Amino acid sequence: MTASHPVGETDLMHYVDGLLDPARRSEVEDFLARNPDAARRVADYRAQNAAIRQRFAAVADEPVPARLMAVLEERPRAAPPRLAAAAAVLALLLLSGFTGWMLGNESDDPGMAIEAFLPHLETEDELAAPTLVGTLPPVDWLSNSIALNLRQPDLTAEGFALERGDLMSVEGRSVVRLTYRDTQGTEGKRLRLFVATPRPAEQPKPRLERRDGMGLAYWKDGPLLFLLAGDVDESTLRAAAASIHRTARLRAPDMPATPVHNGQAAISPASLDGG
């Protein structure tokens, strides 16, 4: 905007609403000094603004009603709070063959029916059928079904927070689906973890791959099959998978709350980082 640019109606409006830069503002003020009619009108508009603000200011200072805060504080419907607090983790399984990630592509035999899970990566609630569970959260249900306690994987350190948990049916088998949301970036990226019991033929080797822009990591962990998927880069996926592998270890039901150090059960986190 140059100094010779004539002052128009839009300038006056912007002036009223404090939307002008200092240079243009002083030009408009010069104009108003020479045009009393416009100056009166502008003064009226500014008085309106001030009155409107003053009239409704108190609303913003009122305490927020509890019912509104409750909307934000509501826990993800199916997320099991008590498992998150599980203190003791007893590693029951020695995971052999988990020495590193293979990078795979679609043509390789993944050793499990990946395709069955793909439709459930992007969908929201409509495919999730939180039946069967009764009062049990999905992870508890799965724990019961394999008679071992499963600890809900915590991805806080990787910057993801659990958003919801669903128990759903994928091609006739019950699958726990946990949805995590990125808490660091502004994009709200999502990771989805599927946990199921493997079928006899399913013996996947730990693997990372990318399909349709979606990063996939999957592995078998004792009596459970894990598939982690998300539109994230490889290092994020790898770190999250390693963390899940580390923290989702199984603990025996009703074991004392003291960590048991058992050489057999020790799984080195480092074993996940290779490959």
Partner 1 sequence: MDDLKLLMAREIPHLRRYARALVGDADRADDIVQDCLEKALRKRQQWRRQGSVRHWLFRILYRCHVDALRSRRREVDADEYEWATAPAQEKRIECHDVAEAMAALPASQREVLLLVALEGMSYDEAALVLGIEVGTVRSRLSRGRESLRRSWIGVTTRLRRVK
Q: Which residues contribute to the site for partner 1 (CB under 8 A)?
A: 9-10, 13, 16-19, 40-41, 43-45, 47-49, 51-53, 55-57, 59-62, 64-65, 67-69, 71-73, 161, 181, 183-184, 186-188, 190
Measured from the CB atom, the residue of 173 and 190 that comes closer to partner 1 is 190
CA gyration radius for the chain? 29
3-class DSSP state of 123:
coil
Nearer to partner 1, 72 or 201 (CB): 72
Give the largest Cα separation in the chain, rounded: 90
Q: Of the candidates 177, 143, 146, 174, which has an alpha carbon nearest to the alpha carbon of residue 163?
A: 177
Q: Looking at 52-204, which runs of residues are DSSP E strands?
A: 102-103, 149-150, 160-170, 173-182, 190-196
Which residue, 96 or 186, has its beta carbon nearer to partner 1?
186
Rounded least distance, CB 108 to partner 1, Å: 31
Which residues 6+ apart lie within 8 Å of 5 measured at CB?
27
Nearer to partner 1, 48 or 268 (CB): 48
CB of 10 to partner 1, least distance (A): 7
Min dist. Cβ of residue 26 to partner 1 (A): 20
**DSSP secondary structure letter of residue 96:** T
Please tell me the total number of residues recorded for the chain in this structure. 275
Sequential DSSP letters for 132-159: S-TTS-HHHHHHHHHTSEEPPP--GGGT
DSSP class of residue 92?
-
Residue 164 CB, nearest approach to partner 1 (Å): 11
**Closest residue by Cα to residue 14 from 40, 42, 35:** 42
Nearer Cβ to partner 1, position 69 or 94?
A: 69
CB of 86 to partner 1, least distance (A): 21
- In angstroms, what is the minimal distance from the CB of 135 to partner 1? 24
In the bound state with partner 1, the residue whose beta carbon lies nearer, of 4 and 54, is 54
